[in-house]
Amino acid sequence: MSASARVIIVGAGLAGLACAGHLVRRGVACTVVEASDEVGGRVRTDRVNGFQLDRGFQVLLTGYPEAANVLDYPTLHLQSFHPGALVHYGGRFHRISDPVRRPQDVLSGLMSPIGSLRDKLTTLRLRQDALNHRVCAQAGGGNRTTLEALASYGFSAAMRERFLRPFLGGVFLDQSLSTPCPIFEFVWAAFSRGAIALPQAGMGAIPAQLASSLPVGSLHLHTPVTQLDGKQVVLASGERLSADAVVLATDYATAATLRGEPIPAAPSHQSTTLYFDAPTPPVRGPWLLLNGDQQGPIGTACVLSEVAPSYAPAGRALISISLSDQTGSVQENLQGIVRAQFREWFGASVDGWRHLRTDHISRALPPIAYLADKNGAGSPRLKPELYQCGDYCETGTLDGALLSGRQAADAILADL
């Protein structure tokens, strides 16, 4: 491809930005057209009354291989969670930590009712197997689900229901744990390899960093594409843009519509996060809180300002609470129901918390059916001059989006 060849990328989420970044570094001029008012797609951060509110609770795993290659971690000023969680069970919190990285918690972990000594040893075995890519082989094959893989490792019901299900259910936005084993293995390896972190300036700093490497004038916000027509894209304004290649870098549903196909019937994974402002943090330290009681709407929670103080103004605490019910049924009086459960955990001070916002995201993660059996959807080549990328082409994660962006760029570089 000559240096003047042009590629149009539809969508400035992580996949589209990663694709553009790779092409630009190889001297290929790109135009990125984005429908919304900012880059980032599902990874955005809003500033509200001095708080940094990510659009739904999400985190960066520093052990993600593609993210570690593509992102400049030092300038993100990453702030890490403790490697473990505080599990609420039977009226109090129990500390469950990664014994390799927080050996000081091993004794308290052994005394807790969350899992037996055997479970702790099994966790170590799972860690090693994930790092060596052999979890699914051990579990009977790549067509196994996360739940089946956990069962094959022989975790006790207590460990599975009080820790693993709320934890992984929050990661995959899927309490049934039917996410395919290869994705579980990939994510568990990333957890084992690195930290769970937040950029100081919020998750939106990740796409902002990717966008900052693009040439001025190559990114066009407020520019929705309504149709693809060979090597042209038709904008909502009616204008047509031509290029040597077009990359579809939207979410799976929009990609299907732009390809002229029906939106897949399989349900996508939904997410609901409530943000509260409190005068004091209910928990000190950068802990993830898990609901191990299996009752009530709360799945996971966290005092974000204890992880990254920049998330709240001085003297305030920002609390994020994510629901375990990802079916999308936004209940009436959700705030009251969530507050009632948190009152049981932290007492009457919860009544003084100020509700900042509730984020309900209906297409947070692609449908499992898409990830389990991509039917070729994972390939970056759709037809001559038309390419695709997005989390649905890979692992349904930030890392998958970044990787698929690079794969689309590589395919274009090879083809043209």
Ligand X SMILES: Cc1cc2nc3c(=O)[nH]c(=O)nc-3n(C[C@H](O)[C@H](O)[C@H](O)COP(=O)(O)OP(=O)(O)OC[C@H]3O[C@@H](n4cnc5c(N)ncnc54)[C@H](O)[C@@H]3O)c2cc1C
3-state secondary structure of 95: strand
Residues 6+ apart with CB under 8 A from 120: 99, 106, 109, 110
Closest of 388, 387, 389, 393 to residue 371, by C-alpha? 393
Considering only the stretches 33-41, 120-128, 282-290, 378-386, report the one whose residues sit in contact with ligand X under the rule CB under 6 A.
Answer: 33-41
**Residue 398 interacts with ligand X (CB under 6 A): yes or no:** yes
Residue 397, interface with ligand X (CB under 6 A)? Answer: yes
Q: Which residues ranging from 52 to 81 are in contact with ligand X (CB under 6 A)?
A: 56, 58-59
Does residue 390 interact with ligand X by CB under 6 A? yes
For residue 84, state whether it binds ligand X (rule: CB under 6 A).
no
Q: Does 169 bind ligand X (CB under 6 A)?
A: no
- 8, 24, 28, 35: which one binds ligand X (CB under 6 A): 35
Which is nearer to ligand X, 108 or 362 (by Cβ)?
A: 362
Q: Is 131 exposed, middle or buried (0-12, 13-18, 19+ CB in 10 A)?
A: middle
Residue 170 in contact with ligand X, rule: CB under 6 A:
no
Determine which residue in the list 7, 321, 350, 365 makes contact with ligand X, applying CB under 6 A: 365
Cβ proximity to ligand X, 62 vs 250, nearer residue? 250
Q: How far is the CB of 404 from ligand X (least distance, A)?
A: 7
**Quick one: which of 9, 11, 147, 304 contacts ligand X (CB under 6 A)?**
11
Residues 324, 322: Cα–Cα separation, whole Å: 7
Instruction: For residue 299, give the nearest of 159, 157, 168, 160 by alpha carbon.
Output: 168
* Residue closer to ligand X, measured from CB, 172 or 345: 172
Q: How far is CA 197 from CA 99, 149, 193, in A?
A: 19, 26, 13
Q: Longest C-alpha distance within the chain, in Å?
A: 66
- Minimum distance of ligand X from residue 257's CB (angstroms): 8
- In the list 42, 127, 160, 406, the residue contacting ligand X (rule: CB under 6 A) is 42
Strands (E) in 5-75, as ranges, are: 6-10, 29-33, 45-48, 51-54, 60-61
d(CA 315, CA 190): 34
Min. distance of Cβ 212 from ligand X in angstroms?
16
CA distance to 128, 155, 196, 287, 333, per residue, from 192 (Å): 8, 18, 10, 17, 38
| Count of residues that interact with ligand X, criterion CB under 6 A | 34
401 is an interface residue for ligand X by CB under 6 A: yes
DSSP string, 160-173: IIIIIHHHHHHHHT
Q: How far is the CB of 325 from ligand X (least distance, A)?
A: 14
Distance in Å, CB of 322 to ligand X, minimum: 8
89 vs 86: CA distance, rounded Å: 9
Q: How far is the CB of 65 from ligand X (least distance, A)?
A: 12
Distance between CA 300 and CA 298 in Å, rounded? Answer: 6
Stretch that binds ligand X, among 160-168, 294-302, 328-336, 390-398 (CB under 6 A): 390-398
Per the structure block, which two tokens stand in for 249? 């870098």
Under rule CB under 6 A, which residues in 228-247 are in contact with ligand X?
none
Token pair, residue 57, equals: 């609770």
* Binding status of residue 210 toward ligand X by CB under 6 A: no
Question: Of 88, 290, 391, 411, which one interacts with ligand X (CB under 6 A)?
Answer: 391
Q: In a 10 Å sphere around its CB, with 0-12 CB exposed, 13-18 middle and 19+ buried, how is residue 269 labelled?
A: buried
22 binds ligand X per the rule CB under 6 A: no
The answer to whether 96 contacts ligand X (rule: CB under 6 A) is no
Residue closer to ligand X by CB (options 168, 361) is 361
Q: Is the separation of the CB atoms in 267 and 176 below 8 Å?
A: no
Least Cβ distance, residue 64 to ligand X (angstroms): 7
| Residues from 253 through 272 that contact ligand X (CB under 6 A) | 254, 271
For binding to ligand X (CB under 6 A), which residues are involved? 10-16, 33-36, 41-43, 56, 58-59, 224-225, 249-251, 254, 271, 361, 364-365, 390-391, 396-399, 401
